[in-house]
Amino acid sequence: MSQEEFFKNILLRCPKCETQKSIKVPSKILTQSGTIITMGIPVGLICDHSFQAFVDDQSNVRGYQVVDFVIHKTEYFQSDMQKDEPEENSDQDSFTKLPIFQDIINILRNCVDDREILGSAVFTTKGNVLYSSISNKTLIDTIREFEVRNDEKLLSITKMLLELKNQQKVCSKYLEIHDLEVILVLIFSEMVNFAIGNMYLGDVVKKIEKLT
């Protein structure tokens, strides 16, 4: 199947501010129910508002509903793995307090649920997690893969592509931002191949690099 057959374009309009934007939705999501599905539209995807859209199996929008409050599934936490290295933790803490860090989080939030990106994460080359919206198991497995390469002194590898048992794809890239070495991770659905995943990863990296 071509990429066009995988996705359907749907024109959405915010019920609050009337902003319109066309987004791509996996075809199988629309056809598997056979009736009308409810789509949650997060802040930043169309505009600064969050709402629900009701879409039929012919890609027609039947209506909207405003969402008053959204609880993000993302988690922020500091790893305890480096307690004996206060200097690195100091650099890490300083970085997470910078405005650019919140800008990066906003970029990652906005890309999730779009282009079949299921989640994202940022962690240091030492395994300290700065941000994550993916499952702990997937995050830990990805960190371990980089730790193996670190132990084997393979840090010249700046990008890694993995396929999970459920055919989901993990695309990750090494970045240096404000003198802090980090790994950016994107998780894609089983419908996305590595070529497309790598292209989307590149798009996100470009947006982040524009901030620096």
What's the whole-number mean pLDDT along residues 195-205?
A: 91
Whether residue 126 is found in the same domain as residue 52: no
Asked if residue 83 has pLDDT above 50, the reply is: no
* Number of compact structural domains in the chain: 2
**C-alpha dihedral sign at 112, 114, 115, 116:** positive
Contact 139, 185 (CB under 8 A): yes
Range of the domain at 48: 3-66
Whether residue 128 is found in the same domain as residue 188: yes
Contact 112, 44 (CB under 8 A): no
What's the whole-number mean pLDDT along residues 75-93?
A: 52
Asked if residue 189 has pLDDT above 60, the reply is: yes
Tokens representing 58?
């012919």
- Domain end (from 66, 95, 114): 66
pLDDT of residue 30: 74
Asked if residue 124 has pLDDT above 70, the reply is: yes
pTM over 0.85: no
Residue 61 placed within a domain = yes
Asked if residue 114 has pLDDT above 80, the reply is: no
Whether residue 15 is found in the same domain as residue 106: no
Whether residue 35 is found in the same domain as residue 131: no
pLDDT of residue 110: 79
Residue 74 placed within a domain = no
pLDDT of residue 81: 40
Whether residue 203 is found in the same domain as residue 163: yes
Which of residues 35 and 194 earns the better pLDDT score?
Answer: 194
Closest of 156, 123, 131, 115 to residue 9, by C-alpha: 115
Residue 77 placed within a domain = no
Residue 75 placed within a domain = no
What's the whole-number mean pLDDT along residues 150-157?
A: 57
DSSP letters of 74-142? -B----STTTT-HHHHHHHHHHHTSHHHHHHHHHHHHHTTSTTEEEEEEEETTS-EEEE-S-HHHHHHH
For residue 197, the domain's CATH number is 3.30.450.30
Asked if residue 170 has pLDDT above 60, the reply is: yes
The Cα 107–Cα 20 span in angstroms is: 20
